[in-house]
Amino acid sequence: MSIQENVSLKHLNTLGIDAQARYYAHIDHAQHLRDLLQHKKLQSLPRLILGGGSNVLFLNDFKGTVMHMTVGGIATIREDPAHVWVKAGAGVNWHTLVRYCVEKGYSGIENLSLIPGTVGAAPIQNIGAYGVTLSDTFESLEAMEVDSGSVRTFTTQDCAFGYRDSVFKNACKEPYVILNVTLKLQKQPTFRTTYGELQETLEAMGIQKLSIKAISDAVIHIRQNKLPDPAILGNAGSFFKNPVILQEQFKKLRDTYPNIPGYIQSENQVKIPSAWLIEQCGWKGKRRGDVGVHTQHALILVNYANGTGQEIYQLAQDIQQSVKDTFNIEIVPEVQLVS
Ligand SMILES: Cc1cc2nc3c(=O)[nH]c(=O)nc-3n(C[C@H](O)[C@H](O)[C@H](O)COP(=O)(O)OP(=O)(O)OC[C@H]3O[C@@H](n4cnc5c(N)ncnc54)[C@H](O)[C@@H]3O)c2cc1C
């Protein structure tokens, strides 16, 4: 097992923050992880499990060990006449898994095409896009308990999935490292095209007959045209979650802001797009030195070149404060802050 010292993380996080890891190691096998977790020199230091680095903001240099998950492997492990179970290692690129399923004709995750990052991180915030979330096809995952090195299986119920949330952002954040994920996919596709933009794109692409591949292609087309490519402009996708507020507060806000968008979540809860709130506060396109808010997407904070984690964080805090002052709504980061 090779442990490197003082490693730059600039190319290991999509925001392109040039933080340094005191120690750094690849984990391409469960036993490597077990060995590393029991390594005497490292045991008392903080540790960070890193996947594709597309949902983290490094606030400073990381004084402990960055454990970079590269556990590979995709396999079809079981099937019945209607379903197929596919298991993938935590370090597999998420879109590689989507492509594998699309090519084999397995339906369920085509709407999640091109989301950056790894399979192991997908359950952490229950990734979602275009009307689908990971939890829709999730079967189980295996995770290593940090203290004992033993492996535990988590079912859907154990994961407590929510909107960009799971038990791995809460009670199980520190104690467990995800090793692999199993999805239950359909042999006969159910197409989910209710999301307006997806429908329009399929029409514009002249798709006569729906297929898993057509949906995946349409999603890729939308994402490539809409979202900044982190390889060109540092970003971590949506920086904030969309807040959910009470109907009562929503109605009051609508009196002042008749155009405020809201999506009913339950009898008394409404979800508001953070992008709209941030844009109303005048942040869209604002630049401070090398960091800023994307010119087309108020929800995406960007690093133009040499911005620091602290600069992005300060910008995020100022945005949160102005949304709070203007609408009395708290918006919270979707991105994981690492100090
Ligand atoms: C351009 C862009 C678009 C995006 N679009 C979407 C979108 O449409 N929908 C969406 O949901 N997200 C989106 N994201 C966010 C991001 O892609 C997802 O959150 C993704 O799942 C993060 O994966 P990662 O491997 O990069 O995780 P990382 O950023 O490496 O890690 C994220 C968190 O998970 C932890 N972690 C990672 N791997 C493990 C593991 N094996 N075990 C335990 N903990 C682990 C890390 O410690 C960290 O806390 C987007 C990001 C970008 C840059």
Give the pLDDT of residue 208.
87
**Residue 151 DSSP code:** E
What is the rounded radius of gyration, in angstroms, for the C-alpha atoms of the chain?
A: 21
**H/E stretch holding 234:** strand 234-235
Quote the distance between the C-alpha of residue 225 and its chain's center.
19
Strand partners, 67: 25, 49
In short, whether 122's Cβ falls inside 6 Å of ligand 1 is yes
The verdict on whether 164 is a catalytic residue reads yes
In short, whether 89's Cβ falls inside 6 Å of ligand 1 is no
| 57 in Cβ contact with 312 (< 8 Å) | yes
Of 95, 97, 183, 192, nearest to 137 by C-alpha is 183
Bridge-based pairing of strands 4-8 and 20-27 is antiparallel
- In the three-class reduction of DSSP (H, G, I as helix; E, B as strand; rest coil), residue 85 is classed as strand
- Which of the four pLDDT bands, split at 50, 70 and 90, describes residue 29? very high
Q: Which of 32, 55, 66, 125 gets mutated to test ligand 1 (max ligand atoms within 8 A of its CB)? A: 55
Structural fold of domain 74-226: 3.30.465
Give the pLDDT of residue 332.
97
Q: Which of 24, 54, 111, 312 gets mutated to test ligand 1 (max ligand atoms within 8 A of its CB)? A: 54
In short, whether 235's Cβ falls inside 6 Å of ligand 1 is yes
Q: Whose CA is nearest to atom 49 of ligand 1?
A: 336
CATH code of 234-338, in short, is: 3.90.78.10
pLDDT in tens, 105-149: 999 999 999 999 999 999 999 999 999 999 999 999 999 999 999
Can you tell me which atom of ligand 1 is nearest the CA of 116? 17
Expressed in angstroms and rounded, the spacing between residue 334 Cα and the centre of ligand 1 is 10
User: Where in the chain is CATH 3.30.465.10?
Assistant: 74-226
> Does residue 1 have a pLDDT over 90?
no
Expressed in angstroms and rounded, the spacing between residue 169 Cα and the centre of ligand 1 is 12
CATH pick for 4-69 out of 3.30.43.10, 2.40.30.200, 3.40.50.300, 3.90.226.10: 3.30.43.10
The verdict on whether 2 is a catalytic residue reads no
Give the pLDDT of residue 7.
98
The verdict on whether 238 is a catalytic residue reads yes
Per-residue pLDDT, averaged over 323-334, amounts to: 97
Per-residue pLDDT, averaged over 212-241, amounts to: 97
Give the pLDDT of residue 123.
98
Expressed in angstroms and rounded, the spacing between residue 117 Cα and the centre of ligand 1 is 5
Expressed in angstroms and rounded, the spacing between residue 324 Cα and the centre of ligand 1 is 26
User: Where in the chain is CATH 3.90.78.10?
Assistant: 234-338
Catalytic residue among 34, 164, 216, 274: 164
Distance CA 241, CA 293 (A): 15
Distance CA 81, CA 95 (A): 26
Give the pLDDT of residue 126.
98
Identity at 113, one-letter amino acid code: S
Expressed in angstroms and rounded, the spacing between residue 226 Cα and the centre of ligand 1 is 19
Instruction: Look up the pTM and report it.
Output: 0.97
Q: Whose CA is nearest to atom 52 of ligand 1?
A: 237
> Does residue 78 have a pLDDT over 80?
yes
Give the pLDDT of residue 204.
95
Distance CA 269, CA 220 (A): 31
User: Where in the chain is CATH 3.30.43.10?
Assistant: 4-69
